[in-house]
Structure 1
């Protein structure tokens, strides 16, 4: 089945708020993530929840789509223990269709063809921005739940394989550098 994203999910902007030194809520921003949507830094509560609408409190399964700048990605919020809100650099995609897995939709949005489509419609010369309307009109192919689960499993294993390969290359480089250093000093 093919459908537009707006037919299976609610899309809203993140909340505009000012970070504080010590808060009771995490204010998620794109700088906390790499290009693949993996969180790369620890986060601390830096937002006061007073005045933040309950609608802006992230729920497990919400998808954050980084819509501003050149680093566009989707990431699935899955931390049940984190009280968090997304910044305005994100669109929060909340699935309404139970036949779509959040992890699958995240994978689908991160595909090169989907990203190319979205970036083609980005507006702005200094800071390109993908609009809510364009994101909502993005065509999503929705296979069976079983196929979605299989795709997610393969994608997770592929990511794990990349991490292992990267670590192997790093260790191999250290090994050769040490060998060369030892040879130089003998």
Structure 2
């Protein structure tokens, strides 16, 4: 039987970092516009901040899960270090999962489900701009099956996202072909 556990028991929760980008910065500054609604990163970081003592405390670690807590788009994304340190902007909550209990990619997948998004929309509703409090996020319960099942669900989610990306690329190529054919036929 799958038990439901509050996020506050599964993760350490903190806020992202607020800073003004700096052209001489060396730390990637992750922002919501770099992701799509499904929690896929669609653009590389294009803003940076300087590394100092305050910023160092907010450097992301592998398997941190970023969750947007403000705005009209709700999504989660699991961070992986790719050669450059990064910090999440203040629009994100940073969830640091207790990996002996919950698999980080599974947590991101569950937070991205339509059911979870609908629940968060209800929690944060009542204003024009959705805003979820840290206590509300911490009280949100997620199903926690066995680690093996969590990893299977995370793998399925990754395959699904890859299929969506390929489908989107296919549509782009089909549009190009269609445009080229119409262009040739009308010359």
Q: Is the pair's TM-score, using the shorter chain for normalization, greater than 0.5?
A: yes
Q: 1:131 aligns with which of 130, 133, 151?
A: 133
**1:74 is matched with which residue?**
76
Do the aligned residues in 2 keep the contact of 1:24 with 1:45 (CA within 8 Å)? no
Structure 1, unaligned stretches of length 5 or more? Answer: none
**Distance across 1 between alignment mates of 2:174 and 2:17:** 45
Call closer, same or farther: CA 1:180–1:64 in 2, change over 3 Å: same
Provide closer, same or farther for how the CA distance between residues 3 and 172 of structure 1 changes in structure 2, counting only shifts above 3 A: same
Once the two structures are TM-superposed, the CA of residue 168 in structure 1 deviates from its matched residue by: 2.0
User: 2:85 corresponds to which residue?
Assistant: 83
Please, what TM-score do these two structures have when normalized by structure 1? 0.91
In the alignment, structure 2 segments of 5+ residues that lack a partner are none
Give the C-alpha shift of residue 68 in structure 1: 0.8
Quote the offset at 1:146 in angstroms.
1.4
Task: Describe the superposition over 1:106-128 as per-residue Cα deviations: whole angstroms up to 9, x where unpaired.
Answer: 00111111111111111563422
Count of equivalent residues: 185
Compute the displacement of 1:2 (Å).
Answer: 1.3
Q: Give CA-to-partner distance per residue, 1:113-145, whole Å, 9 cap, x none.
A: 111111111156342211111111111111112
RMSD of equivalent CA atoms: 1.8
Q: 1:101 aligns with which of 100, 103, 110?
A: 103
- TM-score for both structures, normalised by structure 2: 0.90
Structure 1 130/51 Cα, relative in aligned 2: closer, same or farther at 3 Å?
A: same
Q: Structure 2 CA distance, aligned partners of 1:180 and 1:127? A: 43
